[in-house]
Structure 1
């Protein structure tokens, strides 16, 4: 499979108003799947009301040029998310990448295709020079996704992010886009 070829039944599009119901449902459906990899979430996180506010905030940050949030859809369902965040301009032209796919789609190349699409957006739409991503040390599947997309390991950041209630070490990767 071409690393950028999403399955025919899955589409990538910008996050938009009206996504909050499908987004809340996706997070509820994938709660156990995502908990080991995500920050600790309050019960409010799984509500439509929270996502109603968050979708609007993310759209505003996209319009301000600091993020680029997208969703993967299959029919009316959201089956994954990604965002290019912390977009820095000037001499840096760099940003960070985060992503996840629905548990039902893991191991099928969907995450690899999603990251490939995000690399293309970072390079072709946002004109970035560099994209960075980090994974927990034991998240070998995500490390493989990044490596398949030309990311190179650049080191380990100790106690990098507060994930699942603990400050955890991360392997950092980068891809030079120019």
Structure 2
């Protein structure tokens, strides 16, 4: 079944479409996101974020991707905080536009980025963290074989408040 959902490395020309999607979904994403200044919602702000992400990507510590559905940019997904050596790990983070929610888009994107993490990046482990009340994101992770491993009190500032997060991980069974 062709879902029309793909991920690819984010590009500088994604700045305007990303800014437009973020502006349109500002209220929808607000409960799940850290506070952002006004520049975040502009093409120039997104261009700076993309440039920084691509620099980290060139250094091997970040995998910044766009989520595309039927040719339209509908979200972002990243492998953040890639650590090599004896750890071989990274953390997945993602968001999708409200119009793409509940249609399997995030589930497909997480599956695709974990596949890249385990194959192209040869990571041993991918972690993920969700707000304790983010049941939708927890379902996406469960569908992708992530297991709940704990609770991180006051883990991340969301909307200016330090909030608890549920911690998940998926271990690469084929790691060599």
TM range (shorter): over 0.9
What corresponds to 2:39 in structure 1?
Answer: 44
SS of the counterpart of 2:140?
helix
In the aligned structure 1, how far is the partner of 2:72 from the partner of 2:3? 15
Cα displacement (A) at 1:74: 3.6
Q: How far does residue 49 in structure 1 lie from its aligned partner after superposition? A: 1.1
Write out aligned runs for 1:1-178 (5 A): 7-8=3-4, 10-74=5-69, 77-178=72-173
Q: Distance in 1 between matches of 2:86 and 2:127?
A: 16
After superposition, the CA RMSD in angstroms is: 1.3
Number of residue-to-residue matches in the alignment: 173
Runs of at least 5 residues in structure 2 that lack an aligned partner in the other structure? none
Q: What residue ranges of structure 1 are gaps of 5+ in the alignment?
A: none
* 1:92-128: CA deviation from partner (whole Å, max 9, x where unpaired): 0001110111101111111111111111011011000
Kindly indicate whether the alpha-carbon contact (under 8 Å) linking 1:6 and 1:113 is maintained by their aligned counterparts in 2. no
SS of the aligned residue for 2:119 comes to helix
Q: Secondary structure in 2 aligned to 1:157?
A: strand
Tell me, in whole angstroms, the C-alpha distance in 2 between the residues paired with 1:177 and 1:6: 26
Shift of 1:7: 1.4
